[in-house]
Amino acid sequence: MNVVTLHRSLDDVDFRILKTLEDAHKKYEFVPHEFLERRVDEGRLRKLHHLGLLRRNATPWLGWKLTPRGYDVLAFHALRRRIAKLASSPIGVGKDSVVYMGETHSGLKVVLKFHKSSKHTRVRHMDYIFGARSSALAEFSALTKIFEAGGLVPEPIMLSKHVVVMRYIEGVELYKCKRDVLDDVLHTVKTALSLGIVHGDLSPYNVLVGDRGYVIDWSQWVPLDKPGALERLKRDVDNIAEFFNVDSVTIYRELGMEYRQINK
């Protein structure tokens, strides 16, 4: 079942159980059954387990934990006062996120990006939840700063747990249409650099072309002063230069940087 169908199958008691588990995961990977049985009905736990929202552990003790699907449903529930509709099927699925179309109660078309924690970030228990939340926060922070500074990025609307809500942009990925939006891309990259932000994963797959060229997918951005940031900037520039068949030196000049600064 998708997020919308699962959400409709639950009631307030179910959501309180999911929230109780989320809070308890700050201390436990598998929340002890004894901790939960004083607060919830066991039949409810079995229901949530059957729906794939909880995982059961039998040894060395009986315990429960939220699954990524359970966290998705909990996050969507927290958005229900702002989001009136959510498409039943995603419009995009990647290794780090799943994206759905939606609509606010005021009729604004939005996208909801459910972040996933990549495997290399899972260094402690429940990092598939807290790592996803950290990734979403990073992207929302970058989008907010760049949008307010005039960069061409999706307008961030709100953040809920590991979900970033953005205004919907009608368009297609750059690699599919090959329109000349180099000036738009460089404007946004330059705006981000002025804020100390390096995209870190820029390519024709992360540029959405509509009325303008919008740079998307900022979850892997790095601070400009962080070790290794210049190498990632060079990779960004090289990817764009290759796609538009432009010399990298020209792009660095447009960004107000010297080639030797990046390639020293």
- Are 27 and 87 in a shared domain? no
- Tell me the pTM: 0.89
Q: Is residue 146 part of a domain?
A: yes
Q: Is residue 234 part of a domain?
A: yes
Identify the pLDDT of residue 224. 94
Q: Is residue 77 part of a domain?
A: no
User: Count of domains in the chain?
Assistant: 3
Residue count (the chain):
264
Identify the pLDDT of residue 123. 45
- Are 195 and 250 in a shared domain? yes
- Are 189 and 208 in a shared domain? yes
- Are 124 and 52 in a shared domain? no
Identify the pLDDT of residue 261. 57
Over residues 192-204, the pLDDT tens digits come to 999 999 999 999 9
Q: Is residue 94 part of a domain?
A: yes
- Are 162 and 116 in a shared domain? yes
Identify the pLDDT of residue 118. 60
Q: Is residue 33 part of a domain?
A: yes
Cis status of the peptide bond prior to 227, with omega within 30 of 0: no
Contact assessment for residue 147 and residue 156, using Cβ atoms and an 8 Å cutoff: yes
Q: Which domain holds residue 229?
A: 172-262
- Are 143 and 177 in a shared domain? no
Over residues 111-149, the pLDDT tens digits come to 999 998 765 444 455 667 788 999 999 999 999 999 999
Identify the pLDDT of residue 130. 81
Q: Is residue 76 part of a domain?
A: no
- Are 135 and 153 in a shared domain? yes
- Are 156 and 96 in a shared domain? yes
pLDDT 10s per residue in the chain (264 long)? 788 889 999 999 999 999 999 999 888 889 998 888 887 888 999 999 999 999 998 877 889 999 989 999 999 999 988 898 899 888 988 888 999 999 999 999 999 999 987 654 444 556 677 889 999 999 999 999 999 999 999 999 999 999 999 999 999 999 999 889 999 999 999 999 999 999 999 999 999 999 999 999 999 999 999 999 999 999 999 999 999 999 988 898 888 876 555 565
CATH number at residue 15: 1.10.10.10
- Are 126 and 155 in a shared domain? yes
Identify the pLDDT of residue 259. 54
Which of 127, 143, 167 is the endpoint of a domain? 167
CATH number at residue 95: 3.30.200.20
- Are 149 and 213 in a shared domain? no
- Are 150 and 193 in a shared domain? no
- Are 156 and 211 in a shared domain? no
Q: Is residue 67 part of a domain?
A: yes
CATH number at residue 250: 1.10.510.10
